[in-house]
Amino acid sequence: MAFALDGHRETKLIMNKTASNPFQALLGGLVLALGTLIPAASAATPRADTAAVRSIRDPFPQPPELRDAVDFWRRVFAVWRRDQVVFHDTESLGIVYDIVELPGPVADAQTPRQQAYLRARRQSLERGLRELARRVRFRMGLNKEQQRLLGVISHGGGTHVLAGADSRVRSQRGMRERFLEGLEISGRYDRIMRDIFRDAALPEDLALLPHIESSFANNARSSAGAAGMWQFMPATGRRFLRMNSAVDERFDPILAAHGAARYLRNAYDDLGDWALAITSYNHGVGGMVRAQRQFGRDFGRIVRSYRGKTFGFSSRNFYAEFLAVRSILDAERRYFPEGVRYQRPLDHQRFRLKQPLPLTRLASSVGVHRELLVDLNPAWTPRAARGLVSLPAGSEIWLPSGTRVASAGISVSPAGRAFIRPSGEFLRAGLVYNPITFSPRPTETIPRRKQSKERTHVVRKGEWPILIASRYDVPLKDLMALNDIGRRGVIRPGQRLRIPVR
């Protein structure tokens, strides 16, 4: 989990509309353009060929000790399905004992029947490993299943791993569908997040961390208290982001990415090694400093031998998961031959308030419905969204692309980003967030999934109309009209929505 002490992985999004209003002039002097204009792109995929442009000296080397772990997580993310559960050794990830399929209907959460089934399979495997260890110790004969288990152990870790193997059995559910969904969602954010890290003089591939943390689900919350797409813990969030009664920037994917860049810059400056800095994102800088004192920058030895109090399975595997994600995206067509339907990049404008402003006044000033503004600004707390507290000075807000703001007192941004002229006309300077169109490979494109003329979508927990409209690349107003969705945009999990035909 991002900036957590140990690892948990779990994991509100945005709307689009333009409007004019005679009260727009009220916003003059209150809103300062940040210059972050994120243009829509027509490319089918947001990813550039990062493998082809990496420097000769890769900032993220793979220690030999992580080979099996990286391969294991590649299969978890891109091969094994969510109806498959893998039983493996917690320390030697090359040892995969069995792959079973969940009985009955499969959903995000396991049913009591499925939990009981997995518990019984695990207990049976643990008994089998204890009996195998006893028979090997006393040089007794082995049946076929025992011979198979011994072969798996010998091949994946060596026979010395047999001692205590029964206490190291762990189950891992496949995540291929979830990873693919996160990959599609990442189309909204990939380019701008890469720009954020590049502008901070950090490796662009750090933008891949949400694949591990949340699968790019912005409503993610962990049992330990981490929240948002980047899974900031509260204490770390207060250090690197704005968090108060009106704003929690952990829930804004772009603002949180800036916070992640600040955190990772500090972590790298303290640790001097990217494997350690990335692992600190899960384990904390202090924990990795202690590991470094014992083993230096030998990350393979740290993973193998460091026994920090909270350096558990998740922390030990965090960097291997990051490397696995990189390798999957470098061979995307091999892992997802069906194609990836990337969502369109964000097309909103970002501003900064110069003084406190309640939501009702902001909405009337810019001529955008307040509920639309709430959807565009997931960092706003429920109290701010209900108008109970004002948005504080310095708050960064998103408005629909093309919103005209009367801003007679606003000057050109010295950073050369997008800004507002006094007339309200947008001027695109583009020194930081350039309008880039790109494809995943210089000579090929990822095929889009075939779509029938009649389409429906089953609403899942945490989905909003704007997210569904963006996913299918249809106008939000058409989706809402076709399904009689009211102005508040209320939909419920399990509801079947008709998708407009374009």
CA dist 357 and 32 (Å) reads: 13
Residue 419: pLDDT band with limits 50, 70, 90: very low
Looking at the fold, whether 94 and 169 belong to one and the same domain comes out as yes
- In terms of average pLDDT, the best of 25-34, 65-74, 398-407 is 65-74
- For strand 348-353 and strand 169-173, is the pairing parallel, antiparallel, or unpaired? unpaired
Looking at the fold, whether 419 and 462 belong to one and the same domain comes out as no
- DSSP state string for 358-398: -HHHHHHHHT--HHHHHHH-TTB-HHHHTTSSPBPTT-EEE
237-246, 343-352, 403-412: range with lowest mean pLDDT: 403-412
**Residue 204, domain member (yes or no):** no
Looking at the fold, whether 88 and 169 belong to one and the same domain comes out as yes
Looking at the fold, whether 459 and 421 belong to one and the same domain comes out as no
Which residues are CB-contacts of 109 (< 8 A; sequence separation ≥ 6)? none
Looking at the fold, whether 164 and 119 belong to one and the same domain comes out as yes
Which of the listed residues 173, 204, 239 is the one where a domain comes to its end? 173
46-50, 150-154, 258-262, 420-424: range with lowest mean pLDDT: 420-424
Looking at the fold, whether 364 and 420 belong to one and the same domain comes out as yes
Tokens of 60: 């993220």
- DSSP state string for 177-202: HHHHHHHHHGGGTHHHHHHHHHHTTS
Residue 43: pLDDT band with limits 50, 70, 90: very low
Structural domain of residue 474, as residue ranges? 455-499
Q: Is 497 helix (H, G, I), strand (E, B) or coil?
A: strand
39 or 225, greater pLDDT: 225
Looking at the fold, whether 166 and 87 belong to one and the same domain comes out as yes
Please compute the mean of the pLDDT values over residues 8-22 and round it to a whole number.
37
User: Are 274 and 203 spatial neighbours (Cβ–Cβ below 8 Å)?
Assistant: yes
User: Are 319 and 278 spatial neighbours (Cβ–Cβ below 8 Å)?
Assistant: yes
Please compute the mean of the pLDDT values over residues 436-443 and round it to a whole number.
24
**Residue 312, domain member (yes or no):** no
Which of the listed residues 132, 148, 173 is the one where a domain comes to its end? 173
Residue 454: pLDDT band with limits 50, 70, 90: low
* Long-range contacts from 134-139, C-beta under 8 angstroms, 24+ separation: 136/162
Mean pLDDT of the chain: 82
- What is the CATH number for 465? 3.10.350.10
**Residue 126, domain member (yes or no):** yes
Give backbone dihedrals phi and psi of 145, rounded to 5 degrees, phi first.
-65, -40
Residue 403: pLDDT band with limits 50, 70, 90: confident
Looking at the fold, whether 120 and 163 belong to one and the same domain comes out as yes
Residue 465: pLDDT band with limits 50, 70, 90: confident
Domain count, the chain: 3
User: Are 246 and 217 spatial neighbours (Cβ–Cβ below 8 Å)?
Assistant: no
Please compute the mean of the pLDDT values over residues 138-159 and round it to a whole number.
96
**Residue 68, domain member (yes or no):** no
User: Does the pTM exceed 0.85?
Assistant: no
**Residue 367, domain member (yes or no):** yes
Q: What local confidence, expressed as pLDDT, does residue 1 receive?
A: 62
Please compute the mean of the pLDDT values over residues 241-246 and round it to a whole number.
96
Please compute the mean of the pLDDT values over residues 128-138 and round it to a whole number.
97
The partner residues of 427 in beta bridges, in order of sequence, read 419
Of the candidates 481, 477, 483, the residue with the CA atom closest to the CA atom of residue 497: 483
Residue 487: pLDDT band with limits 50, 70, 90: low
Which of the listed residues 155, 173, 191 is the one where a domain comes to its end? 173
Please compute the mean of the pLDDT values over residues 330-336 and round it to a whole number.
97
87-91, 120-124, 381-385, 439-443: range with lowest mean pLDDT: 439-443
Give residue 353's identity as a one-letter amino acid code: L
Q: Which residue has the tokens 């049946």?
A: 143
**Residue 333, domain member (yes or no):** no
Q: What local confidence, expressed as pLDDT, does residue 52 receive?
A: 45
Looking at the fold, whether 101 and 35 belong to one and the same domain comes out as no
Helix (H) or strand (E) holding 349: strand 348-353
Looking at the fold, whether 409 and 466 belong to one and the same domain comes out as no
Looking at the fold, whether 373 and 409 belong to one and the same domain comes out as yes
Whether residue 428 is predicted with pLDDT greater than 60 in this model: the reply is no
Helix (H) or strand (E) holding 240: helix 234-240
**Residue 361, domain member (yes or no):** yes
**Residue 300, domain member (yes or no):** no
- For strand 496-499 and strand 455-458, is the pairing parallel, antiparallel, or unpaired? antiparallel
Q: What local confidence, expressed as pLDDT, does residue 405 receive?
A: 65
Q: What local confidence, expressed as pLDDT, does residue 443 receive?
A: 25
Looking at the fold, whether 370 and 419 belong to one and the same domain comes out as yes
Q: What local confidence, expressed as pLDDT, does residue 448 receive?
A: 35
269 or 463, greater pLDDT: 269
